Amino acid sequence: MDVQTIRKRAFATPLLSPAYPIGPYRFLQREYFVISYRTDPEVLRAVVPEPLETTDPVVHYEFIRMPDSTGFGDYTESGQVIPVTYRGRPGNYTHAMFLDDHPPLAGGRELWGFPKKLASPHLSVETDTLLGTLDYGPVRVATGTMGYKHQTIDKAEVQAALANTPNYLLKILPHVDGTARVCELVCFFLKDVDVKGAWTGPAALSLFPHALAPVASLPVLEVIGAKHYVADLTLALGEVVYDYLQA
């Protein structure tokens, strides 16, 4: 295989059988269950990388079902997102993500820098309750519950937040000697968002300590609200907004 062919085909590893296809990546009927809670402000500031800045000591804990996603298949995800500002503009920083499918795990880390690890998240309706769980191996790490569709909320407001909010990631790729070859703050947006429905209800969240899935290190001090919504959307590719190796 000549050099030009390698360059043309080299968008993912392994070269001859990539773990995921070239995008764009479209998601249909993507279902979100997001519980917002207050946490310790000092602990929160310690995990958010500069030049991002924290605002209120709030964390969004997410359970997401993705039954139909281009190239990635059918999978579920769970993790923590932190509201931040960058140069004064509000956005979200993805702090932790856990999922049960290899292609989006590999693609998410390689392309954007999503902090993804393999685990077993689950989102379902149990009688009158929306239930989200995260297990790391046989150990329960998170449990979230909400009264199922107790109250409708404004779809347009949810759609505007999804479409207009910048999302930030810390992308790290090592050199062969183990040092950082890529260390960047990446920004991406969600495109072509179409919210099908949005609801809220009484909610609760429990996080449990685990050495390798430390979601409980951002402790739940007070649950302040929850949202459940379904949307079609496209996950756009990102751009580098800050290069830590050049700073």
Catalytic residues, by residue number, are 116
DSSP string, the chain: --HHHHHHH-SSSSTTS-SS--S-EEEEEEEEEEEEEE--HHHHHHHSPTT-EE-SSEEEEEEEEEEEETTTEEEEEEEEEEEEEETTEEEEEEEEEEES-HHHHHHIIIII---EEE-EEEEEEETTEEEEEEEETTEEEEEEEEETT-EE--HHHHHHHHHH--EEEEEEEE-TTSSEEEEEEEEE-EEEEEEEEEEE--EEEEE---SSS-GGGS--SEEEEEEEEEEEEEE---EEEEETTT-
